[in-house]
């Protein structure tokens, strides 16, 4: 496939330099931020990843852009592997996802409510791209604390917990006070007024009195997944 820039614009190809050594160096596949890339740029990146026999993962892709990328790849000479748009996670993958390896440990991703689903699903998919067994548990926010308490026995069997929460962001603090394994908090940009697009949840998690709670940036499900992956990769070292 040939992708030509608009008149007067610099060529796309020289600006794309993939980190194809990341899997060997860090045990991670390279993820591509899709929200501020054009469909043409994403298609070109996915072609390069396919040529390197690497799984393609692109985050923050809406349905319209996903369709545009699919059209470019379908019409090109390197159509190859099927492109999948994971609508809940707002991600694209190209290439088969690996089967989960139970020996690497299990992660549970929790969401306070269904409004946290997109961020939680992004974390789940990112872990699935690395063969990590991952379960998604929603609607366990502190407004109905009994729903979380009902899940405690299930949560005890996980190696790492990722807790996504908007509003005041209390869910990770509660988890870190009840369970011993690593808890990674993900503030979500959901909530009224003073929630300020996730700022209140972020500050609440950073100010948590539960010792050892880790926190990533607002809506950063992918970052939380990679933090969990690092924990699993160093377990027992």
Q: Distance between CA 114 and CA 111 in Å, rounded?
A: 7
Q: How far apart are CA 73 and CA 217, in angstroms?
A: 32
Encode pLDDT of 154-183 as tens digits: 999 999 999 999 999 899 999 999 999 999
What spatial distance separates the first Cα and last Cα of the chain, rounded to whole Å?
A: 45
Provide the pLDDT for residue 2.
41
Check whether 39 has a pLDDT greater than 50: yes
Please say if the pLDDT value at position 7 is more than 60: no
Task: Kindly indicate the confidence band of residue 32, based on its pLDDT and cuts at 50, 70 and 90.
Answer: very high
Tell me how far apart the alpha carbons of residues 177 and 155 are, in angstroms, rounded to a whole number.
Answer: 13
Residue 5 or residue 106, greater confidence = 106
Q: How many CA atoms lie within 13 A of 226 on its CB side?
A: 14
Give me the CATH topology for the region 102-234: Rossmann fold (3.40.50)
Which of the four CATH numbers 3.40.50, 2.60.40, 1.10.357, 3.30.110 does domain 13-94 have? 3.30.110
Every domain of the chain with CATH number 3.40.50.1970 lies at: 102-234
Q: Return the percentage of the chain with pLDDT > 90, whole number.
A: 74
């Amino acid at each position: 496939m040939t992708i030509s820039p608009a008149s007067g614009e610099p060529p796309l190809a020289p600006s794309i330099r993939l980190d194809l050594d990341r899997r060997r160096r860090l045990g991670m596949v390279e993820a591509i931020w899709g929200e501020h890339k054009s469909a043409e740029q994403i298609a070109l990146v996915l072609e390069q990843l396919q040529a390197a026999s690497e799984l393609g993962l692109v985050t923050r892709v809406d349905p319209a852009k996903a369709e545009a990328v699919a059209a470019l790849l379908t019409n090109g000479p390197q159509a190859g592997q099927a492109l999948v748009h994971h609508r809940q996670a707002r991600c694209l993958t190209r290439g088969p996802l690996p089967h989960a390896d139970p020996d690497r440990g299990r992660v549970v991703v929790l969401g306070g409510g269904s409004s946290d689903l997109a961020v939680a699903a992004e974390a789940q998919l990112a872990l699935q791209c690395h063969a990590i067994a991952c379960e998604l548990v929603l609607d366990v926010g502190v407004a109905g604390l009994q729903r979380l308490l009902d899940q405690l026995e299930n949560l005890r069997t996980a190696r790492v917990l990722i807790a996504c929460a908007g509003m005041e962001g209390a869910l990770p603090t509660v988890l870190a006070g009840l369970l011993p394994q690593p808890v990674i908090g993900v503030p979500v940009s959901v909530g009224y007024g003073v929630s300020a697009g996730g700022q209140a949840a972020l500050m609440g998690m950073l100010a948590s009195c539960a010792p050892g709670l880790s926190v990533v940036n607002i809506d950063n499900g992918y970052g939380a997944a990679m933090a969990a992956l690092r924990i699993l990769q160093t377990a027992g070292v």
